[in-house]
Structure 1
Amino acid sequence: MELASLAASGAATLVGLMVSETWAQARDRVALFFARGGDGTSAQEELSLSRQELIASRESGDELAAADIEAGWRTRLRRALQDDPEAAEELRLMLSELTAGPDIGSTVAVHNSISGGVQHGPVFQGQDFSGLTFNIPGTAVPGQGAGAE
């Protein structure tokens, strides 16, 4: 029962990672896990195919297809764990590494401050904003617009 639970957790994590920015690192790590059973190349190809299918299913709103992909990886992980029970600890370690947040040392400190009086528009505080457009109807900055001299 514990191996089935671990396989389910692993499959859910794997499918989540397939559509994340860290997929390349995760894919290589998962392929190495399956390589211990001798099918690393096969796993690499299947992972790439699963990712393509998952992205297509999410774009089309086909949740059943996404669930099928997860079920397939859950079965594959469960079989790998049944064939080699010592792989459970390696899978646990891999999952914790792949789902861990950024290292404390790699975080960026951001300090934002707003000064200078009244702000006549939205103010956003954060990091890495790009391509933002603000259209605020009915707002006029003092000294601009109709009747301003």
Structure 2
Amino acid sequence: MEAELASLAASGATTLVGLMVSETWTQARDRVARFFSRSGDGRSVEEELRLSRQELIATRESGDELAAADIEAGWRTRLRRALQDDPEAAEELRLMLRELAAGPGREPAASVHNSISGGVQHGPVFQGQSFSGLTFSTSGTVPPREGTEVE
């Protein structure tokens, strides 16, 4: 169970830090503050979230990935402690992560796996979830088949 809580805390910290630099941070911040207010430290958490976000923005602008990793590690530790202190908080954190990952008006993130096989590809290859309105232009020439000579 300890490994599961550690994994959940790591996922939560990664999501939290990612949201700190996103457009949905205001809604996420309020939700995260409510989560931590379970233990009675809501006001101090709001200030820590604000400071962490400022630091994170500064580290991203300067390219200091180690400092950004330190911020994430700090929140991972804090989440892990919250989960250890209150095992019922795990389900609330899972729910919060699902809600925050989906965001308002968006579908939950999907996993995509594409494989390209069969040799050389003589055209564009796209990987993604949804495409529409694509137009391809070609030169009209067909690449030679393997084993044939080109004149």
Aligned partner of 1:95 among 83, 94, 97: 97
Whole-Å Cα distance in 1 between the matches of residues 56 and 17 of structure 2?
Answer: 8
Whole-Å Cα distance in 1 between the matches of residues 34 and 20 of structure 2?
Answer: 16
The correspondence of residues 54-73 of structure 1 with structure 2, limited to 5 A, is 54-73=56-75
Conserved? CA contact 2:24–2:103, under 8 Å: no
Q: Which amino acid in structure 2 is aligned with residue 55 of structure 1?
A: I
Aligned partner of 2:80 among 78, 81, 94: 78
5+ residue gaps, structure 1: 105-110, 113-149
RMSD of aligned residue pairs (Cα, Å): 1.7
Structure 1 residue 28 and structure 2 residue 41: aligned? no
Q: Which amino acid in structure 2 is aligned with residue 27 of structure 1?
A: R
Q: Which amino acid in structure 2 is aligned with residue 8 of structure 1?
A: A
The correspondence of residues 43-62 of structure 1 with structure 2, limited to 5 A, is 43-62=45-64
1:34 to 1:61, Cα distance in 2 relative to 1, 3 A: same
Displacement of 1:103 = 3.1
How many pairs does the alignment contain?
107
Q: Which amino acid in structure 2 is aligned with residue 69 of structure 1?
A: I
5+ residue gaps, structure 2: 107-131, 134-151
Whole-Å Cα distance in 1 between the matches of residues 57 and 103 of structure 2?
Answer: 23
Whole-Å Cα distance in 2 between the matches of residues 89 and 101 of structure 1?
Answer: 18
Residue equivalent to 2:109: none
Following superposition, which runs of at least 4 residues in structure 1 exceed 2 angstroms of deviation?
101-104
Displacement of 1:8 = 0.0
